[in-house]
Structure 1
Amino acid sequence: MEIEKKVKIAPDTPGVYLLRDKNGNIIYIGKAKSLSKRVKSYFTQRDGKPLKTHALLKKIEDIQYITTHNELEALLLENNLIKQHKPIYNIRLKDDKTYPYLKLTVKEKFPRLVITRKIKKDGSLFFGPFAPVWEVKDNLKTLSKIFQVCTCKKPIKEKSSRPCLNYQIGLCSAPCSGFISTDKYMDFVGKLKSFLEGRVEEVLKYFRSEMEISADSLMFEVASRYRDAINSIQRMVQKQKVIGLGGKDKDAVGWKIANNRIAFCVLKIRDGRLVGHVEYSFESIAYIDDIDACESFLRRYYERETSIPEEILVSRDIRDKEVIQNWIKDKKTAGVKIINPKTGKRFELIKMAQENAAVALKQYEDKSADTMNKLEKMKDILRLEKIPQRIEGIDISNISGKMGVGSVVVWEEGKLIKDNYRKFKIKTISAQNDYQMISEVVTRRYKRLLEEKKPLPELVLIDGGKGQLNIAIKAFNELGIDGVNIISIAKGKSILKRTGREGLREYSQEEVYTPSSDTPLKFKKDSPVLHVLQSIRDEAHRFAIRYHKTLREKKLRYSVLDEIPGIGKKIKKELLKYFGSVEKIRKSSVDELCKIKYIKSKTAIQIMDYLETGQN
């Protein structure tokens, strides 16, 4: 069915629409109160729409409709489908991972406060996101000193006879060693939670009360600790700008559009203070107008945001205000208002958010221009047919040919796209043969892309010399792939250079090999093009080594117990903890095995039969 007919048959009901390209891939997902009106709006009055929307319209080959009972159902379905399919033209907060969160593990017996970049639905409380990274690390140290809450990376499972270093330097109360009662520790956790939620005065009031009680009881050392905690809290609060809007917590959302890119800034105001702000910039997204973009951003942002305010301030009246308010209300279990202020202090907040968005947009534009300049130089120096917007780096890692692995990392438009990384366990070679390992990785990687009809990179960078480059080119030729440039980078001979007061220093000049010449290209040490190639090569090297290390560690942990059907990690751990070795388990009896946690007579007999028959 032609696309025009698909548009005409769109139902006049709430629902979700899926736009597909010629390969059947979903490239955009949207929701609407009226599917008919929304879809038709894409194909009318095209002149006023952003360039990315025009690019989207050129790629649409099919439209699928899913109707719902109401707008709220459509919004929930849209969110789920976007998370599942990750369309390229939708707003997705991919930049979240650059912002850290503070995670309070309230479901554990002794909750911990840790920094994380991933939000998981494990019952923990998340506060943030925060920027910059160094500031949240400083805050974590200060908070651990004030509230004496554990900041260890791993959960506290068993009592430790000896507390860790954090206790020795006054950053933890050592609940793992029983140096503080559970009730007292949980009291501190509660106050920490209140502080992170912005209820600063409540926490200060508590500490002042405890300080006075301790002083009246002549417990001056304890009182001094409370005094220090009060001073530390006040110093942290002083760094936050006072907005002068008491009462309700607020988020001010501002945005700026220029040159086919849109940037959002969220100012977070808690208890009348600006406690943080985050910025997001998007380029490859499609939207009808800035209100449509704002609505999409609000849905993505508050889908994962844990600290939801009572008011969300925006610079324009949005069409889906009631639907988004009701959806957020279900998450927050309290009323949320989306307000478009025209005057007053709320309006000043919006202006501040818009100014920050404009600054963020300028920074992104400058960075993009710098990246494009580097790519243009790369194209000229390497004599490429076109600017390499997407570069893939390939490396291998092994020990004398054993446990060989390969890695592919993806660099796109100035940044590494970790979601697209791939790792390979070498299957065809067990001897030391780097060339054949490169060939296997190249063949498997790009044969898969061809089969899945996915786009190929403009440039492939191999870690190695001319030999590795030639074997990669041969693999591409055997796959019948044309139009992909392939180069390799290797360290040249070490030379000694005089470096000021440090004297002589060993330095290896990088050599870049291309198919058209046997003589490698040599760049100056400060060449921006070389820095891009080095960063991709180093990332591929890091990723390969990490995977190889993981496999080595897995092999070291391997035991004959892993081969016994029905024996999982828990039973294996308990067996080795009790007996110390597989040999001692083999010499034991069924009755002894039954003393072990999780092991019953049937499992014990199965273990003994397997070990005695020598099936290892």
Structure 2
Amino acid sequence: MRYTKNQRKLLPTTPGIYQYFDASDSLLYIGKAKNLRKRVSQYFLDTKHLGEKTHILVSQIDSISIIETESEFDAILFESELIRTLQPKYNILAKDDKSPLYVLLTLHEELPHILYIRKHDIQRLYIRKKDALFGPYQSAHMIRSLMRTLRHIVPFCLQKRRNGKPCFSSHIGLCSPCASEIQGMPGGKLKQESVRVYRSHVITLKHILSGKSDVVRRSYAREMNALSKHLHYEEALVIRKHIESLDVLKRRRFDPSVYTQSEQKIDDIYQMELSDTLEVLHRFGITIHSLERIECIDISNTQGTHATGALTVSIDGRMTVSEYRKFRIRTVQSPNDVLMVSEVMRRRLSHTEWRFPELFVIDGGKGQIQAACSVLDEYSCTIPIIGLAKRFETILYYHRRTQSFQSINLSFDRPALHLFQRIRDEAHRFSKSYHSLLRSKSMTRES
């Protein structure tokens, strides 16, 4: 539907695509919006914050055409397709400035790669007919965020292949089966089946990026029902989680501005995460009123050898590297993460000169959490502990008084989950890097 610029108040408040045309009916610009009326009005109501290029664009707008979509997610996909096809003048200029991103699925390969590429890469790379190319996406941050979100719906690998070594994401269900691990498998039925499953995941990703998310949802629903019918309830639960994540994605607002705002805006985002975390803790019955300092413990070892522990620290929502601490495990020689967590927690609490946190986070399940709580009891310490279990990112809390566990599964767009994941992933990275250093030194001495 076409509107004059003076009719912008008549635009719908639904998600969709807007297209600006000049007086000669030449297409100037294509954009997407969660709320078409609100987004288009922003161009005309407050022009002080607009850059010079946008001022020129607004002065040339004569009419506005809109295409309504079911969700902003659909608008993102449709926007990139229209820009690639129609090449609007001001989108081309924006692309020169911002170097937009494309997503390439190398489907001609046995184990397809998922790559972020730029326009100049398209001319350099040999893209086959079987491959799938999506974009351009005007915000690189937004599409990276979208791809991270999509891994909760269909697992796929975004990391470099490491000759048989699984990536970290495979441990939390975001890359399963892991392409890197499959690559190192010997030939046989297991590898053939793993390749088939991984390729099916990439094909599903292709369907979603092609705007066929409804087809994917119906396929998942059929698969879930079939698994339940054959009493495979655990596998059915995994598929149900994918369906729930897809439904959340369709409702989610993708706002690239949150990645490009001022420091004040970033502080607001951290504050939102902390406020949401307090709300989650209150659901566990944890009555704390601030989260200035959060500490996370993670363990890394190879069958008990070169075992390390890491302590990472978040202050006011920001990771504070100067407060990180690393521990070489001294008392445990076997692959026993529970005992290792106990040792690290005991050594941490012995440092009374270090400021204590308002909350401990443990990367692990019930065993690790109970072990950490036992050490806290030894020190008569009442600091609460929560655990972030892998696979479904389940948040666990151990009620020491009743000796019982309570769990919560947050939707993946909850700010609290983002905070827990950030501090957990950083603890894993820090612990793993120290573990790798010790292994490397040991191998050097042996050689």
TM bucket by the smaller chain?
Answer: 0.3 to 0.5
Greater C-alpha radius of gyration: 1
